Chains A and B, each alone.
Chain A
Amino acid sequence: MTGSSVGLGACQIAELVKSKQISAVEVTQEHLALNEFYDSALHSFLEITEAAAISTAKEIDAKIAKGEDAGLLAGVPIALKDNLVTRGIATTCASQILKGWKPPYSATVVKKVSGAGGVSLGKTNLDEFAMGSSTENSSFGPTRNPYDLKRVPGGSSGGSAAAVAAKFVPLALGSDTGGSIRQPAALCGIVGVKPTYGTVSRYGLIAFASSLDQVGPLARNVKDAALLLQVIAGHDPKDSTSLVDATPDFVSVIDHGVEGLRVGIIEELVDGVAPMVGEALKASAASLTSQGATVEYVSVPAVAYGLSAYYLIAPAEASSNLARYDGVRYGLRVEGQDMNETYVASRTKGFGAEVKRRIMLGTFALSSGYYDAYYGKAQKVRTMIIGSFKKAYEQFDVLLSPTAPTTAFELGAKAADPLSMYLSDVCTIPTNLAGHPAMSVPYGLGENQMPIGIQVLAPALGEANMFRVAAAIENDAPPISKTLFWE
């Protein structure tokens, strides 16, 4: 029942639409139809904005008919993680505290995507406030993995990853604070990119941990991911942490090959991963060697401490950022006798268990008497991690590791033990602490016949080399020889 555009990549669709071989409206309708039939089983979307999508698509077709430039993403369906604010369209962060809230403005990335001709189909599910690694922490119910509905899609951008993997959309936006784009991309067998901190505006991304959060693309191939990053990157006066440097061309570097690039495998992130994940990493390294790169093992000792530092720093920032949900200006209010009772009642009812856990952890790490021992110490370890990477990048252009220690686990498997869930992010966290770019590239199937992701890491603003290596891995990767749940 699928239309002819379903399964095509973003670059292909934009080309077909621009050359009038297919209309943006047809592309939109074909993807919406798939969603309508199958998303009840997957639950990748929280809201599908069908009418708005069709009217956007009509505008793009009209532009093309008039001979105007319709943009890099002309007619390409895209899904937006529901922590990106969209004017007049409910934005929930998968939390009861924001249920029904319709933001009075749109995120810069949302505007950039629509300015480039992208057609948003709706808002995708996530762990509440992007806190989680399985999308089970959504207060609207979990998303499932399109390759096995018993398993999680990863998280927190699990809705975006599942929707892209299931071919509901060729592209999606996610956000990555400790791995929330890369880990679900790995578990769903797609590409996910966490750009250099400051490359993409955070204006309108609902804040979790402001020194770590970054918006990035999810796609089914490296080139599509590079295309979307190109669209959303760039300085934004509304985000004073966005970099002022000119945005390079990410798409054109992809076919430059890896001849002469020096690739280091991070020793500390190889031990303890599932056997087939470890094998896949070795195979991807061998493939890079055969394509002309030099590959060696390298020790980046401080990455071993990333998890501990992260789970003090991120909750500390979250406890501060989430103080704004007080039942006054937006979202849920549970009225009490006075203002303080209203704060307590609104927050107690509105936040879920994981969000409360992290708020309390962060409040504790910042509290008088513990600040130096926990938050202060973690900040110094962050300096240590940055130093450790710096040393490695004196010898290597990019680094390699698994994206996640295992393939997708079953729903409920880690729900009762927060610490075991946190360990899912052990390979992705160090990048966020350093502010560097990293991405996940699919590499066949591993344990339980589920997808494996290889992580490519680069120093700040090293996206060009990162994409070259990712493309080389992709060229030679074993296919994901498994059908989607609806195929």
Chain B
Amino acid sequence: MSDSISRKEVIHVANLARLSLSEEEELTYTGQLAAILDHARDIMALDTAGLMPTAHPLELTNVFRPDVEMPSLDREEVLSQAPASEDGRFLVPRILGEAP
């Protein structure tokens, strides 16, 4: 088995990504992610010294628009598609758990 990603690391990233995995999934994903990361090793050996990273194909600068009021999405229509809403707002379960 490859050492490019461990089962422990897979559990860690799943937690960061707010995903829950079964034990079987932990093993499957560890193997699959390792195979993909192993393939990516071909670029690890490349000499990229002096190259700037490209985050985007366009050379973007800030885009401004005049500060004019424009209509936004219809609140009722948006909330009608929410899992739960109350008094014109999204309704969610409690945000804070018990004090640790």
Q: How far is the CA of A360 from the CA of B21 in the complex (A)?
A: 11
Q: Which residues does chain B contribute within 8 Å of A328, judged by CB atoms? A: 82-83, 90, 92
Inter-chain contact B17/A319, CB cutoff 8 Å = yes
* A393 touches B (CB below 8 Å): no
Q: Which residues does chain A contribute within 8 Å of B83, judged by CB atoms? A: 327-328, 330-333
Binds B, one of A23-31, A33-41, A99-107, A176-184: A99-107
Which residue in chain B gives the minimum CB-CB distance to A197?
A: B57
- What DSSP secondary structure best describes chain A's contact surface? helix
> CB within 8 Å of A: which of B1-37?
5, 9-10, 12-14, 16-20, 29, 32-33, 35-37
Query: B13 is contacted by which of A338, A343, A364 (Cβ under 8 Å)?
Result: A364
* A386 touches B (CB below 8 Å): yes
Inter-chain contact A326/B18, CB cutoff 8 Å = yes
Inter-chain contact B51/A384, CB cutoff 8 Å = yes
Show the binding face of B for A, using Cβ within 8 Å.
5, 9-10, 12-14, 16-20, 29, 32-33, 35-37, 39-44, 46, 48, 51-58, 60, 63, 65, 73-74, 77-78, 81-84, 90, 92-97
Inter-chain contact A104/B74, CB cutoff 8 Å = yes
Inter-chain contact B95/A339, CB cutoff 8 Å = yes
Inter-chain contact A384/B46, CB cutoff 8 Å = yes
Contacts A308-B43, A337-B97, A356-B19; is A383 near B32 (CB within 8 Å)? no
In the complex, 15 of the A-B residue pairs with CB atoms within 8 angstroms, ordered by the A residue number, are A198-B58, A305-B43, A323-B17, A328-B82, A328-B92, A332-B83, A337-B97, A363-B17, A364-B9, A367-B13, A367-B16, A374-B40, A377-B46, A380-B52, A419-B36
Inter-chain contact B57/A363, CB cutoff 8 Å = no
Inter-chain contact A377/B33, CB cutoff 8 Å = no
Inter-chain contact B93/A311, CB cutoff 8 Å = no
> CB within 8 Å of B: which of A332-366?
332-333, 335-345, 347-348, 351, 356-357, 359-361, 363-364
Shortest C-beta distance, A383 to chain B (Å), equals 5
Query: A342 is contacted by which of B81, B90, B92 (Cβ under 8 Å)?
Result: B92
Q: Which residues does chain B contribute within 8 Å of A327, judged by CB atoms? A: 83
Inter-chain contact A364/B20, CB cutoff 8 Å = no
Which residue in chain B gives the minimum CB-CB distance to A368?
A: B16
Q: Which residues does chain B contribute within 8 Å of A330, judged by CB atoms? A: 81-83
Q: How far is the CA of A208 from the CA of B46 in the complex (A)?
A: 27
Inter-chain contact B65/A102, CB cutoff 8 Å = no
Contacts A338-B93, A364-B5; is A211 near B56 (CB within 8 Å)? yes
Inter-chain contact B58/A101, CB cutoff 8 Å = no
Query: B97 is contacted by which of A102, A305, A338, A435 (Cβ under 8 Å)?
Result: A338
Q: How far is the CA of A211 from the CA of B57 in the complex (A)?
A: 7
* A434 touches B (CB below 8 Å): yes
Shortest C-beta distance, B79 to chain A (Å), equals 9
Chain A interface residue count, CB cutoff 8 Å, equals: 70
Which residue in chain B gives the minimum CB-CB distance to A377?
A: B43
Inter-chain contact B40/A311, CB cutoff 8 Å = yes
* A281 touches B (CB below 8 Å): no
Q: Which residues does chain A contribute within 8 Å of B46, judged by CB atoms? A: 305, 377, 381, 384
Query: A348 is contacted by which of B19, B33, B44, B74 (Cβ under 8 Å)?
Result: B19
Q: Which 10 A-B pairs have the closest CB atoms?
A: A435-B57, A379-B53, A333-B83, A380-B48, A240-B63, A382-B54, A104-B77, A308-B40, A343-B18, A363-B13
Q: How far is the CA of A43 from the CA of B92 in the complex (A)?
A: 36
Q: How far is the CA of A326 from the CA of B12 in the complex (A)?
A: 19
* A66 touches B (CB below 8 Å): no
Inter-chain contact A344/B16, CB cutoff 8 Å = no
Contacts A340-B97, A364-B33; is A104 near B90 (CB within 8 Å)? no
Inter-chain contact B94/A363, CB cutoff 8 Å = no
* A439 touches B (CB below 8 Å): no
Q: Which residues does chain B contribute within 8 Å of A373, judged by CB atoms? A: 44
Query: A360 is contacted by which of B29, B53, B58 (Cβ under 8 Å)?
Result: B29
Q: How far is the CA of A328 from the CA of B33 in the complex (A)?
A: 29
Q: How far is the CA of A323 from the CA of B16 in the complex (A)?
A: 10
Inter-chain contact A357/B33, CB cutoff 8 Å = yes
Shortest C-beta distance, A268 to chain B (Å), equals 13
Q: How far is the CA of A307 from the CA of B43 in the complex (A)?
A: 10
Can you name 4 extra interface pairs (CB under 8 A) apart from A363-B16, A419-B32?
Answer: A308-B39, A337-B94, A340-B97, A460-B57
